[in-house]
Amino acid sequence: MSDLQGKTAIVTGGSRDIGRSCAVKLGAEGANVVVNYNANRDAADETVGAVEAAGGKAIAVKGDMTLKGDVDNLVAETVKAFGNDIHVLVNNVGGLVARKKLGEMDEAFLNHVMALNLNSTFLTTQAVVPHMPKGSSIINLASLAGRDGGGGGASAYSMSKGAVITFTRSMAKELGPQGIRCNALCPGMIDTTFHDTFTPDAARTNVENTVPLRRQGHPDDCADTVVYLASEKSAYITGANIDINGGMFFS
């Protein structure tokens, strides 16, 4: 029996791609999964169905994780459905929004990107931690962009993900004495709608032809690591920012 059996996990942005894979993999381990989504209820319901088919229990909760009221509601609905203890938090919400160079950005755009990637992680962590017993785990989704500065027009996104990397280390130190671990993933080129939207096919093909493992990543590559970090098998790992990029970049 998995040590995640009967544990409660929140996956923000859980309706598709990496978030969906995380939700399903956690459900397969017997976890109760709360699938947060902001816009696409049908996609969230599909994730819930996939979690249940994998053997877990799941609910979908709508909410914008950049808004404290919505974050508080997510936590309240989680407690209502599965009890007061929340054992796993996967902070997956985020996005690039648009590729803009320095001279093309205004303050509103910068604030929007920072809120989407950093503020959402901060607000959700702040709201969930009071419900986390000893042995709980927080997994943040950072990015390779936070390591290397990102591609063209991604400086705002890269800054925000770099901040997530640092926040992860800070929380590992602050929450460690409570028995709560905090780690992050730094994915590279993962085959998701993110790259369908923002990355030219030629760039993706170049990655496939040049990275040591000669392929793009799959959302499951990230989700399998999330499950490991959520479980007691990683009980002495905290403050780590794990690169998942097929060898594209070594930190």
Residues labelled as active-site residues = 157
Instruction: Look at the block and give the residue holding tokens 């959402």.
Output: 120
Q: Are 16 and 40 in contact (CB under 8 A)?
A: yes
Q: Which tokens belong to 182?
A: 């905090």
- 3-state DSSP percent of the chain in helix, strand and coil, to 5: 50, 15, 35
- Backbone φ and ψ for 191, nearest 5 degrees, come out as -75, 90
Closest CA to 64 of 139, 123, 137: 123
Distance CA 237, CA 107 (A): 37
Complete DSSP assignment for 73-106: HHHHHHHHHH-S---EEEE----------GGG--
Closest CA to 248 of 159, 187, 170: 187
Distance CA 60, CA 30 (A): 17
